[in-house]
Amino acid sequence: MPKDLKARLEQLVERYNQPRFIEHDPISIPHQFSRPQDVEIMGFWSAMLAWGQRKTIINKSQELIQLMDGAPHDFILQHEEKDRERFLNFKHRTFQPTDTLYFLEFFQRYYRQHHSLETAFARHLSEEDEDVGQALIGFHQDFFDTPLAPQRTRKHVATPARRSTCKRLNMFLRWMVRRDNKGVDFGIWANIHPRQLLMPLDVHVERVARRLGLLKRKQVDWQAVLELTEQMRRFDPEDPVKYDFALFGMGVLGEESLP
Q: Which sequence spans correspond to the domains of the chain?
A: 3-253
Q: Which pLDDT value is given to residue 115?
A: 97
Q: Which pLDDT value is given to residue 148?
A: 87
CA distance to 67, 71, 81, 82, 146, per residue, from 76 (Å): 11, 9, 11, 13, 18
Kindly state the average pLDDT of the residues 157-184: 97
Q: Which pLDDT value is given to residue 259?
A: 43
Number of Cα atoms under 13 Å in the Cβ half of residue 42: 33
pLDDT mean across residues, the chain: 95
Residue 253 has pLDDT above 90, yes or no: no
Q: In three state form, how does the secondary structure of the chain look?
A: CCHHHHHHHHHHHHHHCCHHHCCCCHHHCHHHCCCHHHHHHHHHHHHHCCCCCHHHHHHHHHHHHHHCCCCHHHHHHHCCHHHHHHHCCCCECCECHHHHHHHHHHHHHHHCCCCCCHHHHHCCCCCCCCCCHHHHHHHHHHHCCCCCCCHHHHHHCCCHHHCCCCHHHHHHHHHHHCCCCCCCCCCCCCCCCHHHCCCCCCHHHHHHHHHCCCCCCCCCCHHHHHHHHHHHHHHCCCCHHHHHHHHHHHHHHCCCCCC
Residue 43 has pLDDT above 90, yes or no: yes
CA dist., res. 43 & res. 30, Å (int): 5
pLDDT digits (tens, 9 = 90+) for 61-98: 999 999 999 999 999 999 999 999 999 999 999 999 99
Residue 258 has pLDDT above 60, yes or no: no
Cβ–Cβ < 8 Å for 252, 208: no
Q: What residues does 161 pair with on adjacent strands?
A: none
pLDDT digits (tens, 9 = 90+) for 173-208: 999 999 999 999 999 999 999 999 999 999 999 999
